[in-house]
Amino acid sequence: MPVIEITMTKSSVETKRALIERLTADAIEITKIPAVEFTVLIYELERESIGRSGRTSADIMAQMK
C-alpha cells in the first residue's frame, strides 16, 4: 500500500481533490501500481505554523499584499 503524503497550508476541498487525483494518476503512471493501492494523506498547517527565511508564512503573505 503506497502512501503519498503532502503537508501544506489550508486549502479548499476542490484543491485537495485535484491534488489527490493528480498525485495518484502520476504515481500510477510511474509505478504501474493500481489506483486502489494508493492512499494520499494531506496535512494542513496554519500559515503561522510555517516559517521561511526567519519569518512566518503569514507575515510573508501579509507583506505581499
Exposure of 9 in the CB half-sphere (CA atoms within 13 A):
10
Domains of the chain, residue spans: 3-64
* pLDDT tens string 22-58: 999 999 999 999 999 999 999 999 989 999 889 998 8
Neighbours of 12 (CB within 10 A): 8
Q: What is the pLDDT, as a whole number, of residue 41?
A: 98
Q: What is the pLDDT, as a whole number, of residue 39?
A: 98
Q: What is the pLDDT, as a whole number, of residue 4?
A: 98
Q: Spelled out in words, what is the top-level CATH class assigned to the domain 3-64?
A: alpha beta
- Structural contact between residues 27 and 8, judged by C-beta atoms closer than 8 angstroms: no
Measured between alpha carbons, how far is 63 from 33 in angstroms, rounded to an integer? 44
Q: What is the pLDDT, as a whole number, of residue 65?
A: 81
pLDDT over 90 (residue 17): yes
